[in-house]
Amino acid sequence: MGEVFNAVASGSASLAAARILTKVISFAAFYLITVTLSLADYGLVTLALAVSGPALVVAGLGLDDLVAANGARLIGEGKPNESASLLGGFALVKISITGTILLLLIFIKNFLGADYERVLDQFFLPLAIWIAVTALRTLADLAIVMRQRFVWFAAANVAEAAGKLFVVIALFVGHTLSVTTVIWAYVAGKTLSLLLTLPSLPWFLPRARALGAVKDFFAAVRGRGKWEMLRGFFGQLFSGVYNWITALLLGLEAVAVLNVAIAMNSLLQQVLPFRQVIFPIISRLSATEGASAFVARRLVKYSVWTNTLLILLAVIFLPPAVRTYYPKYASALPLFFFLSFSLYLNSLSLSHAPLLQSLGEQKLLLGLSLLGTISSVTVLPALIWLVGLPGVVAEQLLSTGVIVWIRERRLRAAHRLPTFAWRDFVIFDDFDRALFGRLRTFNFAAVLGRGRASRGGDREPPVGDQAERV
């Protein structure tokens, strides 16, 4: 168990440090973009980049998390070649579907409304490259995270933000910042990060040339995987529906204000990298239910503590900063404070997905995903009509809260696996002292050295109790 929390501590510390640095760099680019572009133009940028979300989810059949969990399990069982073959088959499927989606976007643009039709007409080339590069980067990230090389993953994210900032500064100095050039700046940053993660591709990509790898992939996800595929398709396919419906009902300027509020909230969320760390670790530990529950409860506890501190700091420092540097986005502050409650919902549900997947609850996850989708296309327009832009945040909190409650009830009632207890949040015990002591003495250089040293082979050292079929 100590080895597991060593992975959590070191992975969380390196990712948290990189995320803070990434956010500082991104803040500079965000500032230059938003002070230069009008509200409507920034709303158009948001709509354009939102196209990639559903496209990439459909391309991966919603199976990214399931592939990561199965791959981590196989590595934990000492089967790195099978893990690489699984990811290779997934890569061939994802690359093929991505190409098909890019072709389909040309024909369906007329059905997405005037704003999206304009986006696809004017910015199709940079968006196509953005989607293609992001798909490859996602595959590289899976290979990196499955093998718990968190420092490598973090460095690529920092490089992406830095590359984007460099291009934005050049455009700002040259007075050429526009919707088109901003999208190209995002493409440049993503391409740089892909170049840094390219060394992970030879681990699995050669297997993507064989149809046998595709058969291995579908064999691995057969059964429970079909429910995960449907969940990703019907649920995350509508991940951009908020922007689309907001643009239709309230206009592009409302989209800009909403996404600035979301960006402020994301600034707090990105400090916590627990999800990338917890998913492969719980997948390896989930054969031992006591170990899984222990990891889940501790990380929920630490997430709630950290989010409380972050929200307090935001309440103190964010309003004057926004009024000074982003006066035209001051109207986003009430939305941000309303949206910040989602941080607690995220904390309480931190381990729900990996635990429920490992326990074979894919049908439940599919049903809850459909519930969220139905809420997005029915309750969301009604709330926008009643209260305007705050209705978008209200719908998110309402639907997410219901889903979190149902997941937790299922884990407690059917599996006796509570992921949190209210008393946990007010207790600081010996284990907490030991873990936080490890974080205080965390040696980033040593972990980085281990990450580089381990790149010579496929075999990863086992972490905790091995196995679990996801």
Average pLDDT in the chain:
75
Report in angstroms the alpha-carbon separations of 271 from 219, 265, 303, 375, 412.
37, 11, 10, 29, 29
Q: How far apart are CA 230 and CA 173, in angstroms?
A: 47
50 and 252 Cβ atoms separated by less than 8 Å:
no
pLDDT for residue 450 is more than 50: no
| Helix ranges, 326-455 (H) | 332-339, 342-348, 352-358, 362-387, 390-415, 430-440, 444-453
The pair of structure tokens assigned to 126 is: 């940079």
The secondary structure of residue 110, as a DSSP letter, is: G
CA 393 from centroid of its chain's CA atoms: 19
With a cut of 50, say whether residue 323 has pLDDT above it: yes
Q: Which range is most confident: 20-34, 171-185, 369-383?
A: 171-185
pLDDT average, residue stretch 400-427: 86
Average pLDDT over residues 386-410: 91
Within a 10 A sphere around the Cβ of 466, how many other Cβ atoms?
15
Give 232-246 pLDDT, tens digit per residue.
666 666 666 777 788
Q: What pLDDT was estimated at residue 265?
A: 81
Placement of tokens 């098909």 in the chain: 100
Q: What is the pLDDT of residue 213?
A: 62
Q: Is the pLDDT of residue 343 over 90?
A: no
Question: Could you give the CA distance from residue 76 to residue 466 in angstroms, rounded to a whole number?
Answer: 6
For residue 62, what pLDDT is reported?
A: 63
pLDDT digits (tens, 9 = 90+) for 82-95: 777 778 888 888 88
CA distance 12 to 7: 8
For the ranges 127-141, 230-244, 438-452, which has the lowest average pLDDT?
438-452
Residue 263 is predicted with a pLDDT of 79
**Band of residue 226 on the pLDDT scale cut at 50, 70, 90:** low
- Mean pLDDT, residues 115-123: 69
Contact assessment for residue 40 and residue 253, using Cβ atoms and an 8 Å cutoff: yes
> What percentage of the chain reaches a pLDDT higher than 90?
13
DSSP H or E segment with residue 157: helix 150-173
**Least confident range of 66-80, 273-287, 308-322:** 273-287
Q: For residue 403, what pLDDT is reported?
A: 92
Of 3-7, 72-76, 102-106, 435-439, minimum mean pLDDT range:
3-7
Return the pLDDT at 331. Answer: 83
CA distance between the termini of the chain: 21
pLDDT band at 461 (very low <50, low <70, confident <90, very high): very low
pLDDT for residue 371 is more than 90:
no
Q: Report the pLDDT value the prediction gives residue 417, as an integer from 0 to 100.
A: 82
* Least confident among 65-74, 123-132, 178-187, 307-316: 65-74
Average pLDDT over residues 213-226: 64
Helices (H), 251-288: 252-269, 274-285
pLDDT value at position 242? 73
Q: Give me Rg for the CA atoms of the chain.
A: 22
Q: What pLDDT does 405 receive?
A: 94
* Residue 85, H or E segment: helix 80-108
Q: Which residue has the higher pLDDT, 367 or 212?
A: 367
> Do the Cβ atoms of 136 and 196 come closer than 8 Å?
no
φ/ψ of residue 79, rounded to 5: -125, 65
pTM over 0.85: no
Domain ranges of the chain: 2-455
Cβ of 385: how many Cβ atoms within 10 Å?
10
The CA-CA-CA angle for residues 61, 222, 406, to 5°, reads: 70
| pLDDT tens readout for residues 139-192 | 888 888 777 677 777 888 899 999 999 999 999 999 999 999 999 999 999 999
Residue 236: what pLDDT? 60
4: pLDDT strictly greater than 80: no
**29, 165 contact by CB (below 8 A):** yes
Percent of the chain with pLDDT over 70: 69
Report whether pLDDT(459) > 60.
Answer: no
Cα–Cα distance for residue pair 357/446, rounded to 1 Å: 34
pLDDT value at position 169? 96
The predicted pLDDT at position 153 comes to: 79
- Span 302-322, mean pLDDT? 85
